[in-house]
Structure 1
Amino acid sequence: MFSEFAFSIFNNSIEKYHIKDDVYQIFENPYSKDQIEHLLYRKNWIDTVQWHYEDIIRNPEIDPQDALVLKRRIDVSNQDRTDLVEFIDGYFLNKYQSVDVTPTATINTESPAWAIDRLSILALKIYHMNEETHRSDASNEHKQKCQTKLNILLEQKKDLSLAIDQLLVDIENGNKYMKVYKQMKMYNDEELNPILRGK
């Protein structure tokens, strides 16, 4: 199923990142650009780096200037993440463009790629919560609490994966149809953000 395929790509990305565990390391995509794997791997890498940006910026002793630079990096990362989701949806739009949609077909609350986006974040939550259950410097109580949370995350993965796979089957069979709306984020646009426009 596509969800398990995607989750394995996400895990490859997460494990590769954590070899160096450095937000400034050079990104290398092991998949060719004509493969969906390329988009999935890149998507999760962005999520993984941003996960660690978010950790760093919460350091109460961070230099304010460094925090501002990091905030700008997070802004760029958010835009890159949105762009990748739209590219992944483009893949699905192309894949299912010839499907005959049934007269009773309905639209889903979110596109396949935005559900896959949530699966990518969930892969990160599972990876890091699992780490917490094995921390040598943590108390047994902490590890037990984290194991309980990990069990919930794993159940959430099961449910989300099933929902993604069902959605794709429904689209393939014409029982649901896709519409993709560009995010049209306004705060990065010099014509739409009044602060940027005023400069």
Structure 2
Amino acid sequence: MSVATDPSLLPVAAAVIALHDARLSRPGWPAGEDEAGEDGVWHWIALNHRHNALLWDEEDLSRRTTVDDREIAANKRAIDRHNQARNDATERVDEWLLLALGLVDAASARSDAPTARLPPGARLNSETAGSIVDRLSILALKCRAMRRQCERGDVDEAHRRLSRTRLARLEEQRADLGGCFDELLADCRAGRAGFKVYRQFKMYNDPAFNPVLAAERPRT
């Protein structure tokens, strides 16, 4: 049985969280990384995390008020690119997991209309496993940012105390979400639940579908 169809090789939340934290602690990351060292679903989990981190940095930069508007425009365009890449990686995570679970027709998995194969009576989970991975990535970034607030020396103790309270809540949310991820995959293995690959069809990046970009194109 290949990796792509072996349910025993499905990721667990603790390993996903560990990957997220390991990447955040790596010097120089996320710049210059393409996650080529990861195999299978882990490549897409790592790539999703990388683009979330790059997106986070661009979001911070786009809030600047003392730079030329051209720099902010460049940040906004970078945000669109990273958001698209993050979304694409999320969909690849779902494709890989559904193939491993046997819950999608392999020939249609990468198409605009993947054919689901849910067992009779299985509940359809509204949130996909890939979207949970995406949310865990964002929570990892939030935890890091709040942890830095706890360590600041240029603020008073009240600020650090509030930051510690918020960090504890964020860590609780991440643990709870990780539990939901593991429970969803366990239910999928047991035939009690399933999810589908949902295409986001983000139109703002596509000149063929964004009406403003379409209007800018020269008429022939």
After TM superposition, the score normalised by the length of structure 2 is 0.82
Does the Cα contact within 8 Å between 2:94 and 2:196 map onto a contact in 1?
Answer: no
Identify which of 26, 32, 44 aligns with 2:32.
26
- RMSD over aligned CA atoms reads 1.9
Equivalent residue for 2:159, pick from 142, 149, 162: 142
Using the alignment, how far apart are the partners of 2:209 and 2:54 within structure 1?
A: 28
* Cα displacement (A) at 1:28: 4.4
1:115-171 superposed Cα distances (whole Å, 9 cap, x missing partner): 110010001111111111111222111000000101111111121111111011011
Does 2:135 correspond to 1:125? no
Paired amino acid for 1:92: L
Unaligned segments of structure 2, at least 5 residues: 1-10, 105-116
Map of 1:188 onto structure 2? 205
Structure 1 residue 20: deviation in Å? 3.5
Say yes or no: does 1:54 pair with 2:59: yes
**Residue 163 of structure 1 pairs with residue 187 of structure 2:** no
Q: Which residue of 1 aligns with 2:40?
A: 35
The correspondence for 1:177, drawn from 186, 190, 194, is: 194
Name the SS of the counterpart of 2:207 in structure 1. coil
CA distance in 2, matches of 1:79, 1:135: 33
1:83 pairs with 2:91: no
Q: Distance in 2 between matches of 1:41 and 1:175?
A: 28
Q: Tell me, which stretches of 5 or more residues in structure 1 are unaligned?
A: none
Corresponding residue pairs, total = 194
Instruction: Find out whether 1:72 has 2:72 as its counterpart.
Output: no
The equivalent of 1:6 in structure 2 is 16
Alpha-carbon separation, structure 2, partners of 1:20 and 1:63 = 27
Q: Secondary structure at the match of 2:25?
A: helix
User: In structure 2, what residue type is equivalent to 1:85?
Assistant: T
TM-score in terms of structure 1 length:
0.90
